[in-house]
Amino acid sequence: MKGPEMEDLKEQLYSSWPAEDVPHPMKNSSDDDKYRYLQVLTLLIDADDEIMDEEIEYLNRMVKIFGLKNGTLGKLIKFVQLPDTEEMRKTMSVFYDKRGYSLMMDLIFLSWSDDEFHPKEREFILHCSNLLGITLEKLHVMLKIVESVRKRDAERLNELIEEFREVKGDPEMIKFYWSSLTA
């Protein structure tokens, strides 16, 4: 996909990126943690056995937001060809804190970057939420938040932020994703 359609998609997905007032929750993490975070995202884009240009663009944008060095995207693509399962278990345990919310939001946004939420991507996201200790209730609200951001529905988004609090989620950890809609 190229041309005006791709620009519309970028505007829809990245309208708040990089957020002017709200940094990505991984901003102060180590480069190693940022790379591990991107490894998880890379595994998602391969979950449906087809890596789309939009998914690569999303990853590339994340590499830039994280300020990682050139060549990181290539390393991530090589990683996905021969992932180390044991390494991934360790990686997921690194995000068993509030950064896990951010990881889930990026996974959800990434799964929609090609406008198709593939069943294998859904399965991967459910598995990750389980490993991160994120309840189905929180995950459900996060999915609705992503939908509201994609539709630019600020009114619904405000309701969902309250709903996220009600299920004991921390909206501050995902503010990066919706800050431009409520400003």
Cα–Cα distances (Å) from 4 to 9, 11, 35, in that order, read: 9, 10, 31
Q: What whole-number percentage of the chain has pLDDT above 70?
A: 87
Given a contact cutoff of 8 angstroms between Cβ atoms, the answer to whether 146 and 108 are in contact is yes
pLDDT at 73 over 60: yes
Given a contact cutoff of 8 angstroms between Cβ atoms, the answer to whether 48 and 121 are in contact is yes
- Position 16 scores a pLDDT of 45
pLDDT at 90 over 80: no
- Position 183 scores a pLDDT of 61
pLDDT at 125 over 90: yes
Q: Environment class of residue 25 by beta-carbon count within 10 Å: exposed (0-12), middle (13-18) or buried (19+)? A: buried
Torsion region of 18: left, alpha or beta (phi above 0 gives left; psi -120 to 50 gives alpha):
beta
| pTM check: above 0.95 | no
| φ and ψ at residue 169, rounded to 5 degrees | -90, 160
Cα–Cα distances (Å) from 63 to 26, 69, 83, 102, 132, in that order, read: 11, 8, 19, 15, 22
Q: Which tens digit of pLDDT belongs to each residue from 154-179?
A: 999 999 999 999 999 999 889 998 88
| φ and ψ at residue 25, rounded to 5 degrees | -55, -20
pLDDT at 79 over 80: yes
Q: DSSP strand E in 47-170: where? A: none
Q: What is the mean pLDDT of the chain?
A: 85
Q: What is the mean predicted confidence (pLDDT) over 119-148?
A: 94
Identify which has the larger pLDDT, 93 or 161.
161
- Position 182 scores a pLDDT of 67
